[in-house]
Amino acid sequence: MRLSGLAIRHFRNLGSQELELPSEGVALIGDNAQGKSNFLEAIYYLETLRSFRGARDQELISFEEGVFRVAGTMQPTDASVRSEVVAAAFERRGKRKKVTVDGAEPVRMGDALGHLAAVVFSPADIDLVSGGPSERRRFIDIVLSLNQPGYMSALQGYRKVLVRRNASLKTGQPGAVVQAWDKGLVTAGAVVMGARRDWVQGRGGAFGDYYRRVSNGEGARMAYRPNVSLEGATSGEDICAAFQEALSASSERERRMGTTVVGPHRDDILLRLEDADDELDLRTYGSGGQRRTAALALRLVEAQTIRDTRSQRPLILLDDVFAELDEGRSERVLELMEAEETGQVVLTAPKEADVRLRRDSLPRWRIESGKIST
């Protein structure tokens, strides 16, 4: 599958443009604040139906316009299979989002997710390593929502029960009323924890491998740090039991705090440097370069997950990522990507010279004040 066409209307400063994308991808060159990231944001909107930069949908609508729309044509590698059009629009006034796949609205919004099979690499990714646990939870939640059937509905169910349970605690409802939410919380939460654990364990080797290759020899590890200890818990039922036990044990504390104090909403993923005999938390002890490398490795693992679970070569979106990396690391990342059989690559850079890649074959487009010239 590759992105062969993109129609943009009133998205940020990009105005209205229809573009045909070359099969190998494209390098978009332009000065800062001309709209390079907006272009990648528009493309990736079709993957997750939200902004990868954390912007609200209203903010994506061009100034003084009422509706934005992005439509992408996906061309299967197998030419005999029909192409697919995914479109997303948002209306400012009704705050209404409309998503269609080949013209039809899917039964659930979730069915429209992940059609692009894309990964974005952005300078802000360093927050995945430097930021708090919520950054890493958001990362794994997006990866699993897009790649693991059932994960998203479990996560949504968990959040739904959690806010209601917390409201019961906050208003000082009797213990029996609070406990009435436990079963729902535990059932959904166990699915979330089990999937997170399996993913981190299953991909830990790849993370270390990518890290080593980008850093040229240095080692790093990733480990799931569940808020509820899962030691000895293997089956889903074990996880349920462990979670329920932790909930019951914390009933006094949660009553005092007025909120649920244990559960996957407090999980973390530890990223550690493998030193000679010590393991150092990258978040606290990593240098800028080491953190960026770990963030890149996480994105590479995300791409690998797409490749394995969806049997598709992922579309790689690189948002000016090499600006902050030294030459050696940049080179090695690019080598890795080529070796890993990625699909199309869409990258942005401020200057032609920054596309110092072997990707000399990549067609060049330019962008100025949102207007793209091909």
Partner 1 sequence: MSVIDTLTGEFARLPGVGPKTALRLVHHLMKGKKDDTRRLARAMVELADRVRSCDVCGNFSEDALCEICSNPRRDQGILCVVEEAYEVGAIERTGQFRGLFHVLGGRLSPLDGIGPDELHMDSLLARIRDVEGRVREVIVATNSSVEGEATAVYLEQEIRPLGPTVTRLARGIPVGSDLEYVDGTTIAQALAGRREM
33 vs 163, beta carbon nearer partner 1: 163
The Cα–Cα gap between 306 and 367 comes to: 30
**How crowded is the C-beta side of 81, counted as CA atoms within 13 Å?**
10
Residue of 44, 181, 210, 243 interacting with partner 1 (CB under 8 A) = 181
- For the bound state, the minimum distance from the C-beta of residue 98 to partner 1, rounded and expressed in Å, comes to 19
- For the bound state, the minimum distance from the C-beta of residue 183 to partner 1, rounded and expressed in Å, comes to 5
Residue of 32, 171, 234, 373 interacting with partner 1 (CB under 8 A) = 171
Determine which helix (DSSP H) or strand (DSSP E) holds 208, and give its type and residue range: helix 182-215
Q: Does 157 bind partner 1 (CB under 8 A)?
A: yes
Start-end of H helices in 3-132: 36-48, 126-130
247 vs 325, beta carbon nearer partner 1: 247
- For the bound state, the minimum distance from the C-beta of residue 160 to partner 1, rounded and expressed in Å, comes to 5
Residue of 176, 276, 339, 353 interacting with partner 1 (CB under 8 A) = 176
Q: Does 184 bind partner 1 (CB under 8 A)?
A: yes
159 vs 358, beta carbon nearer partner 1: 159
Residue of 4, 75, 148, 173 interacting with partner 1 (CB under 8 A) = 173
- For the bound state, the minimum distance from the C-beta of residue 155 to partner 1, rounded and expressed in Å, comes to 13
Q: Does 160 bind partner 1 (CB under 8 A)?
A: yes
169 vs 347, beta carbon nearer partner 1: 169
The Cα–Cα gap between 256 and 172 comes to: 9
Please give the span between the terminal C-alpha atoms of the chain, in angstroms, as a whole number.
22
181 vs 322, beta carbon nearer partner 1: 181
Q: Are strands 25-29 and 364-368 parallel, antiparallel or unpaired?
A: parallel
Q: Does 350 bind partner 1 (CB under 8 A)?
A: no
Q: Does 163 bind partner 1 (CB under 8 A)?
A: yes
169 vs 297, beta carbon nearer partner 1: 169
264, 228 contact by CB (below 8 A): yes
Residue of 182, 268, 302, 320 interacting with partner 1 (CB under 8 A) = 182
Q: State the CB neighbour count (10 A cutoff) for residue 222.
A: 24
The Cα–Cα gap between 236 and 368 comes to: 53
Q: Does 168 bind partner 1 (CB under 8 A)?
A: yes
How does DSSP assign 277-310, residue by residue? S-EEEHHHH--HHHHHHHHHHHHHHHHHHHHHHH
**Which residues neighbour 277 within 8 Å (Cβ) at sequence distance 6 or greater?**
none
Output the CA–CA distances (angstroms, integers) from residue 244 to 41, 189, 238, in the order listed. 40, 10, 10
Interacting residue ranges for partner 1, rule: CB under 8 A? 157, 160-161, 163-165, 167-168, 171, 173-174, 176-177, 179-184
